[in-house]
Amino acid sequence: MMSSEPRAIVAAHGDLADGLVSAVSRVAGAAAAARLQPFSNASLGGAELVDAMRDAVNSTAAQVVFTDLPAGSCTIAARRIARETPGLAVVCGVNLPLLLSFVMAPVGEPVAWHPAVDKARSAICIAEEGARAN
């Protein structure tokens, strides 16, 4: 049974996090998407970003922050918060297969992001049918 309480923050540039969470809702349903809290770095400076993300993590009791870029501002902020928050993981390179795998994992699974990361990696492929080689 899925919890309606968010368990993860999806932090990204612009509207990407909102779009990813919206896509999860369309594919897996609103109850599954409710386990995710979108977070944008739009209009936030460094200190503001850390404070806003800290508030989001604390208000949702998130166990993981999924970010878009390994060295982006969202990841830098999330890593700072993880240093002060025991048990908070930061996973970089968020994509739809990762989030779908995460939200479909049984509630209470302590490290649900590990199989989700494996699923995200295996979902990346190159479809070259009909492509021309240069």
User: Could you read off the pLDDT tens digit of each residue along the chain, which spans 134 residues?
Assistant: 344 455 899 999 999 999 999 999 999 999 999 999 999 999 998 899 999 999 999 999 899 999 999 999 999 999 999 999 998 999 999 999 999 999 988 766 666 677 888 888 888 888 877 666 65
Q: Residue 106 — left, alpha, or beta (φ > 0 → left; ψ -120 to 50 → alpha)?
A: beta
**Measured distance CA(121)–CA(118) in Å, rounded:** 5
Amino acid (1-letter code) at residue 12: A
Per-residue confidence (pLDDT) for residue 1, from 0 to 100: 34
Given the candidates 1.10.3720.10, 3.40.980.10, 3.40.50.80, 3.40.50.510, the CATH classification of the domain at 8-123 is 3.40.50.510
Type and span of the H or E element at 103: helix 96-104
